[in-house]
A and B are shown apart, each in its own frame.
Chain A
Amino acid sequence: MDGVVQLQRQLLDYTALLFQEGFLNDQFTQLQQLQDETNPDFVVEVVSLFFEDSERLLNELANTLDQQSIDFRKVDSHVHQLKGSSSSIGAQRVQNVCIAFRNFCDAQNTEGCLKCLQQVKNEYSLVKNKLETLFKLEQQILAAGGSIPM
C-alpha cells in the first residue's frame, strides 16, 4: 500500500504544479468534479476529444495560413474554435495564445499569425504531454488498487 500512497502523493504534486505553471486552470477541476460512477472516464473522454479536435484545427490553420491569399476570416474561425475548446477543458496557456492570435487575425497581420501558430502548437504539445503524464499516473494508481485523490 505504501507504493499507492507514494503514487497518490506524486499525482497531487504533479497536478498542483500544472496549475501553478498555468497549464491548467479551475475549469479542469470542474471537469474532474463532473466525473462520477455513471461516467468514470469522463475527463479522459473529453480531453481525448480535445486532442483530436485541436490537431485537426492546427492542421487547418497551417493550410489556411499557407495560402497565397490568406482568408483571415477562416483563420479566425478556426482559432475561435480552438479558444473555445481549450477554455472548456481549462487549458489556460493554449487559450491565452488563441486570444493573441485572434487579435492578429483582426489586424490581418500575417507574420503575427504565423508566430502565434507556432506558439499555439508549442503550448498544445506541452499541455498534451502533461495531461498524458497525469492520466498515466492515475492509471498506475488504479492498477495498484488505489483510488484517485481529489
Chain B
Amino acid sequence: MAIEAQFHVLAVDDNLIDRKLIEKLLKTSSFQVTAVDSGSKALEFLGLQEEEQRNHHPQEMEVNLIITDYSMPGMTGYDLLRKIKESSSLKDIPVVIMSSENIPSRINRCLEEGAEDFFLKPVQLSDVSKLRPHLLRRKAEEEEEKPQRNIRKRKAIEESLTHMLMEDLNKFISIEDIFGELNYEFSHKRWKFGS
C-alpha cells in the first residue's frame, strides 16, 4: 500500500474569506492545513513548532510550506518572509507569497528575498496543485542527500578513530617492547633454574 506523503501547510491571511478559500484549496489538494490571520500568529505557531522539536516531540507539527498574503496590517507577508529567512531553524521552509496586485517590482523583491513562488489572487486550484510535486521533489533531494551525509559522517568518525587508535597502538607497541625484553630475561632465568 503506497502511503501518500502528508505535507503540512501554514496559511497566513488577514482576510476571512480568503483564509477559508485557501484552506479549501489546500485541503482539496490533500494538504494538512493550519490557517492563521497574521504574521505574528504565524511566527508564534512556528516558534511553538520549534519548541516541540527541541523536546523531541513527534513530527505532527512540522510545517513543510508557508503560504502568506502580501498585504496584511502590522507585519506584511514580505516582513514575515524576511523573518523566516533570517531564522536558522526556519529558513529552509519554502515560502509562497499571494497578492491581489500584480506589481512586478513587488514580485521580484519577494523572489529575491527567497520566496519560492508568487501567486496572484484569487488563487486557483491549478496554482496550489503545483505545490505538491515541488515538495515531493524537495523531499526526494533530502533523501538522496542523507546517504551522502551519512558517508561524510562515517568518514569523519573513522578519521578520528584512526587517529585515536594509532596513538594507542604506538603506546601498545612500546609496552610490547618492554615486555619482550622482560620475557627474554625471565626465560633466560628459567632456563638457568631449569638446568
Binding site for B on A (CB under 8 A): 27, 30-31, 33-34, 36, 39, 42, 45-46, 49-50, 53, 77, 80-81, 83-85, 87-90
Contact = CB atoms under 8 A, between A and B. Distances in A.
Contacts of B15: 81, 84-85, 88
A88 B71 CA distance: 15
Contacts of B71: 80
Contacts of B21: 31, 46, 88
Contacts of A53: 16-17
Nearest to B21: A88
B121 A87 contact: yes
B124 interface: yes
A30 B122 contact: yes
A60 to B, nearest CB: 14
A34 B28 contact: yes
Contacts of A39: 24
A36 B124 CA distance: 16
Q: Is the interface of A mostly helix, strand, loop or mixed?
A: helix
A45 B20 contact: yes
Interface-central residue, B17, B18, B100, B121, by most chain A CB under 10 Å: B17
A53 B20 CA distance: 13
9 residue pairs, one from A and one from B, having the closest CB atoms: A85-B17, A88-B122, A88-B17, A84-B15, A27-B122, A49-B17, A34-B24, A50-B17, A88-B18
A80 B121 CA distance: 13
Given A46-B17, A90-B122, 14 more contacts: A33-B125, A34-B25, A34-B28, A34-B125, A36-B28, A42-B24, A53-B17, A81-B15, A84-B15, A85-B16, A87-B122, A88-B18, A88-B21, A89-B17
A27 B122 CA distance: 8
Contacts of B121: 84, 87-88
A46 B20 CA distance: 7
A83 B21 CA distance: 15
B73 interface: yes
A30 B100 contact: no
Interface string B113-134: 0000000011011000000000
A84 B100 contact: yes
B166 to A, nearest CB: 65
A53 B17 CA distance: 8
Nearest to B124: A30
A30 B123 CA distance: 10
Interface in B98-146: 100, 121-122, 124-125
A27 B21 CA distance: 11
A89 B15 CA distance: 12
Contacts of A34: 24-25, 28, 125
